[in-house]
A and B are shown apart, each in its own frame.
Chain A
Amino acid sequence: MKKININFELNNEGWNLDVEPSDTLLEAVRDKMGVKSPKIACDRGDCGACTVLLDNKAVRSCLILAAEIDGHKITTVEGLCPQEPTPLQKHFARNNAFQCGFCAPGMILAAHELLQNNQKPSREEVQEAISGNLCRCTGYEKIIECMVNPDLKSGEDK
């Protein structure tokens, strides 16, 4: 099958890549670009573990074809913290807002998207924003807590 050539940005770095027409963005990011934080968990858009930011909007990379990202900007959780973790990531770390960690990259991107547009979200807004990202371990409470109260425990660091 004829490959498709695409130009795009991944984590602020320009890429030019040949992809199969059937390659998903998730497959391309993991297998062709070696960025492993988006996870393969359901492969049908149910769980959000493969979330990436497409032009700063959280999307499921398993539902997008790699060919569609020509000319766009992709960000994974690695791209959020090229030098050091963002305050949001630090809050997640301090608040035990993860357990096994498998959903964490996607969850953090969904949270990041919300906080970019709404710096003081209500509990309901947080629940809505992350409701497409499944977590089987935490019961969500600590994730919600650290987004509603992003200053919680911040005195310990700095």
Chain B
Amino acid sequence: MSEMKYVGKSVERVDSLEKVTGAAKYVDDIDFGPSLLHAEIVESPHAHAIIKSIDISAAEKYPGVVKVVTGKDYPVKFGMYMKDRYIFAIDRVRFIGEQVAAVVARCPKIARRAAALVKVEYEVLKPVLEPLDAIKPDAVILHPELKNYPHVPWFYPKESTNIAHLRKTRKGDVEKGFAEADAVIEDTYQVPRYAHCCLEPHIAVGQQDHSGRLTVWSSSQSPCTQKNLFAQSLESFGLSHKDIRVITPYIGGGFGGKAGVCMEILAAVLALSVKGRPVKVRWRRDQEFYNTYLRQGVVGKIKMGAKKDGTITALKYELYFDGGPYVEYGANVVNAAGLSACGPYKVDNLNIDSYCLYTNCPSGGPYRGFGYSEFTFGLESHIDRMAEKLGIDPVQFRLKNAIKEGDALGYGAPMNACDLHKCINLVAEEVKWGKDETSPDPNKVIGKGVACFWKGPAMPPNASSSAYLKFNEDGSINLLISAMEMGQGVLTAMAQIAGEVLGVPPSKIRVETPDTDRNPYEWQSVASHITWGCGNAVQKAAIDAREKIFDIIERTLYLERAGLYLEDEAVKCRTKPDWSLPLRDFVINGIMVKDGTFKGGPIMGVGMFMPEFCSTLCDPETSQGGKPNVHYTVGAAAVILEIDKDTGKMDVQKVALAADIGKAINPDMVEGQIVGGMLQGLATALYEDIAIDENGRLLNPNFTDYKIPTARDIPGKVVSFIVETPQADGPFGARGIGEHTMIASAPIIGNAIYNALGIRMTSMPMTAERVALSKHLGLEKRVEALYAKRTESYCKRGSKS
């Protein structure tokens, strides 16, 4: 391949001017005119209760109210991978804030006042708030009907328990592996729940016109999946896929929280209830916290064995995820962790049990990292402890066990091309690994920490992408895809890929956000698979268009096809260096031949892509036999952390991250993912924390009490390294990077704290308060125990306020 012109270059984003001038439209910015209605949701005040009765009469009579809707109007279940929830709660409620009814009115203030008039009588049940309580034999069962819920074939729910799914991976013989080990270490790690905190809260507007056509405008990463799930749920109301249109303009952040379907289905059904009129459901910030998805909390029990030379001989990892009351999406997070919780290491004897447990906390679900952040904290902390026990440097220990191309994964399939060793070496060098640093301030100490990460897209085996492009008269292009621009820069990356194939600069390619009526299918913009999957489809569409261009040239100008190529918006020929034909001269109106007739016609290209090598068929007891993941992106991160010995306050002086992403389509945008994802991850490590009280109430659903980083909370320096070991089946060799950048953040902090102070944190977040208490009072064990009993500690915090 000759030098590439657009791919691999940091071209300016195609959405830049729209976004910096305020021109970019998000759902709430669309004007629906004076007929717009607003919905207010009547929410459950109980974490677990039977609904005895609902009286909507007073709300219905309130002036300005147009409609009051309850579960009995739409008694259908929905869900992404398992249909385990009703649109509105019908028989019982399972978390505080669950939707019980909706009041639709002409103004949001009226809807809110009227919603307070809906009377719901409950019989309160005991809530289950911790995953380890949910699994106890005498636990209250949240879903007695679990066995009847339709689900994907790779889920294994356990009837009459709170186990919604259990993924088991077995390889080799762990007992033999532990017997061979010179050291065996066991411990338990806890990771709490986290919130995505997209700046734009969830919002959806539904409208069913009088012909029956349903349109939903939503802030979503998943327009096509939403259309599909709406159609499945609303089939009994006479709607089919062709009657449903989902339009997703720009969204104000996703991070997984806007994948699948959650509150958007309310807008769809409310639209059916007020036919003809658009109805808006807009989450307030508190609802954004408790009624979308949270990153699931997890308790992880690890037992690891290794030989004196550092070889890991066995790993046993039990993960107990807090799935929340509905795991229609979250169970697949648990599944992903259950397949890959050994991390990017060659582990011959492996035993993973990953449990998805129903609780009455807010729903768990997809969050950037998708299970990998959750297991990596414990795993990478444990690896440092094993290295120390064996007297091996943590970097050397990781290099010794790091996975290589062709190594057998936990489920037996071979690892893809990668260079984890290079990533580890790059970050170690950047932080001057092995060199002790002293702070000029005698009250401060400096520690260093390192960790590896990996992640594969968790998708159905047939998750597919498609693309369609068409030329305009001037040779510019409209590229249509249903991949969602949520900030990661997909519109630009796709323009670069198409532009590279067609010799057209990305600035002359318009790529717009999805409209399911107009744009071709894309499964969802999740799993960091879009650059790869949609990129493949776009590349194919561009090649399709290129071949059509060559067809016309060949049959009108009789130039040999093999010599033709596209460059600088023109067709050129290797055997005729002086000749070139601008695309604008023929891509719509064709080429005139001698007799004055025209040949050709408007040039279009179509492309589709499905990972046809993927399979989830496997032995459910071992996970052996399938190929559930298309590939993994691997990498490593390292940190230099300064800690104030008196206050525990931590200053991330430098953090380095190296990822083997195959090929950076746009290096600046990759760096953007690394810098942004790293900060998001550091915040989970250092202070973010969802607090839930003894009744199941989320106590900090706002940015005052759930602190996310400001511009003053950033690391001193973030150094990004892009390693490019090509992905043979990726567009120009590319793999994903979006989620991976926050996975290693927590263990590098935990390992650096240990390195600086000798204090091992086994739970997150590792706040300054905890570090100071441990340091000053030698309270490490007691502090850990306090945090381990999260519910109790939150009760105290909750009762104060």
Interface string of A95-127 (1 = CB under 8 A from B): 011111111110010000000000000000011
User: Does any Cβ of B come within 8 Å of A61's Cβ?
Assistant: no
Interface string of A54-95 (1 = CB under 8 A from B): 000000000000000000000011100100010001101110
User: Does any Cβ of A come within 8 Å of B668's Cβ?
Assistant: yes
Interface size bracket, B side: 35 or more
B201–A131 touching, CB < 8 Å: no
* Contact partners of A108 in chain B: CB under 8 A: 20
Bound complex: CA of A69 vs CA of B197, how far in Å?
31
Q: Which of B42-50, B463-471, B701-709 faces chain A? A: B701-709
Task: Please give the number of chain A residues whose Cβ is less than 8 angstroms from any Cβ of chain B in the complex.
Answer: 52
A139–B199 touching, CB < 8 Å: no
Bound complex: CA of A39 vs CA of B285, how far in Å?
13
A39, A93, A127: the one contacting B252 at CB < 8 Å is A39
A94, A97, A140: the one contacting B714 at CB < 8 Å is A140
User: Does any Cβ of A come within 8 Å of B427's Cβ?
Assistant: no
B17, B250, B712: the one contacting A85 at CB < 8 Å is B17
Bound complex: CA of A16 vs CA of B255, how far in Å?
41
Bound complex: CA of A144 vs CA of B24, how far in Å?
22
Given contacts A77-B21, A134-B199, contact A99 B710 (CB under 8 A): no
B18, B284, B676, B708: the one contacting A99 at CB < 8 Å is B676
In the complex, which of the residues A37, A102, A126 has the most CB atoms of chain B within 10 Å of its own CB atom? A102
Interface residues of B in 172-224 (CB under 8 A from A): 196-201
* Contact partners of A43 in chain B: CB under 8 A: 284-285
User: Does any Cβ of A come within 8 Å of B439's Cβ?
Assistant: no
User: Does any Cβ of A come within 8 Å of B25's Cβ?
Assistant: yes
User: Does any Cβ of B come within 8 Å of A143's Cβ?
Assistant: yes
Bound complex: CA of A143 vs CA of B712, how far in Å?
12
* Contact partners of A139 in chain B: CB under 8 A: 672, 675-680, 709, 714, 718
Given contacts A92-B20, A136-B708, contact A41 B714 (CB under 8 A): no
Interface residues of B in 250-298 (CB under 8 A from A): 250-255, 282, 284-285
Bound complex: CA of A98 vs CA of B675, how far in Å?
12
B20, B702, B718: the one contacting A46 at CB < 8 Å is B702
A106 nearest CB neighbor, chain B only: B199
Bound complex: CA of A90 vs CA of B24, how far in Å?
15
User: Does any Cβ of A come within 8 Å of B310's Cβ?
Assistant: no
Bound complex: CA of A49 vs CA of B252, how far in Å?
11
User: Does any Cβ of B come within 8 Å of A25's Cβ?
Assistant: no
User: Does any Cβ of B come within 8 Å of A17's Cβ?
Assistant: no
B679 nearest CB neighbor, chain A only: A139
A47 nearest CB neighbor, chain B only: B703
B703–A100 touching, CB < 8 Å: no
A79 nearest CB neighbor, chain B only: B22
User: Does any Cβ of A come within 8 Å of B441's Cβ?
Assistant: no
A110 nearest CB neighbor, chain B only: B711
A41, A93, A127: the one contacting B711 at CB < 8 Å is A127
Min CB gap B606→A, angstroms: 29
A46, A81, A101: the one contacting B24 at CB < 8 Å is A101
B20, B21, B28: the one contacting A40 at CB < 8 Å is B28
CB-defined A-B contacts under 8 Å, sample of 12: A34-B31, A40-B282, A42-B702, A93-B20, A98-B487, A100-B254, A102-B200, A127-B714, A136-B253, A137-B672, A139-B679, A141-B714
* A-B pairs, 10 with minimum CB distance: A102-B252, A99-B487, A37-B22, A101-B19, A100-B487, A46-B703, A93-B16, A36-B29, A139-B675, A139-B679
Not counting A135-B711, A142-B672, A144-B711, a sample of 19 additional A-B residue pairs whose C-beta atoms are within 8 angstroms of each other reads: A40-B28, A49-B199, A76-B22, A90-B20, A96-B13, A96-B16, A98-B487, A99-B487, A99-B488, A99-B676, A101-B250, A102-B252, A102-B253, A134-B703, A138-B672, A138-B675, A139-B680, A140-B710, A140-B714
